[in-house]
Amino acid sequence: MACANADEALDRLSHYETHTLVATDIHMPGRLDGTALAQEIWRRWPTLPVILTSGDVVIDPSQLPAHFMFMPKPWGVSDLIAMIDKVVTLPRRGTW
């Protein structure tokens, strides 16, 4: 399901029981950007996989928990599918 901003995403995550994956751009409207959203998800739902993406920000993957991934833009659908496959099967470890 799509969300307009991080606050809406957090609200939906709080009210739906089944979460498989969150994908977010680092730059997004609202009180929190995508990085802050990811940090809040990791705090509240530490095993929920997250894919962060951006066309102008680069995140060192070694700085992310094992089930968080960064995918630089531009990317195609096949890239996204491969990333989803990878992130939902990673072992749950690491700290932010």
Per-residue pLDDT at 17 = 67
pTM for the predicted model, two decimal places: 0.83
Per-residue pLDDT at 36 = 92
pLDDT per residue as tens digits for the range 29-74:
889 999 999 999 989 988 899 999 999 988 888 888 877 899 999 9
pLDDT per residue as tens digits for the range 10-34:
999 998 767 789 999 999 888 999 9
Per-residue pLDDT at 1 = 79
Q: Which long-range contacts (CB under 8 A, 24 or more apart) does 78-84 make?
A: 80/23, 80/51, 83/51, 84/21, 84/23, 84/51
Instruction: Decide if 45 contacts 54 (C-beta within 8 A).
Output: no
What is the second-level CATH architecture of the domain 6-87? 3-Layer(aba) Sandwich (3.40)
